[in-house]
Amino acid sequence: MSESIKRVRMVDVTGKAETEREAVGKCRIRVKPATLELIRRGEIAKGDVLSVAQTAGIVAAKETPRLIPLCHPLLLTNVEINFYLPENADFIEITASAKGVGKTGFEMEALLAVSVSALNIYDMCKAIDRGMTIEEIRLVKKSGGKSGAYVASDYKKEAE
């Protein structure tokens, strides 16, 4: 009799209690200062970069279990995407918050939301700035569940 080998598995959360949960992800997309100025002025040929990126991030969070195979389908109650464009800088900081009530966390929804938002900025600006880089995709905060809260040591809510 041969032994079965499990290469992948979805974690069984049947016995876990549903709790209110939130996760916050962040990333940066580094762009030329001239590109950032065109984004600010709404002069990118494809249109309103930040509105498209914001919408794409929300859609991505909702599609997480389709794109990340072992993620559980979760009922999102809110997804929020924010952008920080500092003066005289060469980056846009993207923050995504994903909230809901469930048996497992919303980390992947928040991380996918910032990633897809950044990819949409890249797509809309690549004709003028092919050297853009997407950096520092990371979880900065989570709450709820058995493992409790996590807050990155350098996370500041005011910067969202």
Contacts of 44 (CB under 8 A, 6+ apart): 38, 124, 125, 128
Is 123 annotated as catalytic? yes
Predicted confidence at residue 79, as pLDDT, reads 98
Domain assignment present for residue 152? The answer is: no
Task: Specify the amino acid at residue 27.
Answer: C
- Residue 159, pLDDT > 50, answer no
Domain assignment present for residue 9? The answer is: no
Domain assignment present for residue 150? The answer is: no
Q: Which of 48, 123, 129, 154 is catalytic?
A: 123
Domain assignment present for residue 112? The answer is: yes
Tokens standing for residue 99: 């909230």
Mean pLDDT of 118-136: 97
Domain assignment present for residue 122? The answer is: yes
Q: How many domains does the chain have?
A: 1
Predicted confidence at residue 157, as pLDDT, reads 61
Percentage of the chain beyond pLDDT 90 is: 82
Give the confidence band of 2 by pLDDT, cuts at 50, 70, 90. low
Give the confidence band of 52 by pLDDT, cuts at 50, 70, 90. very high
* Predicted model pTM: 0.91
- State the residue range of the domain holding 36: 19-145
Domain harbouring 115, CATH code = 3.30.70.640
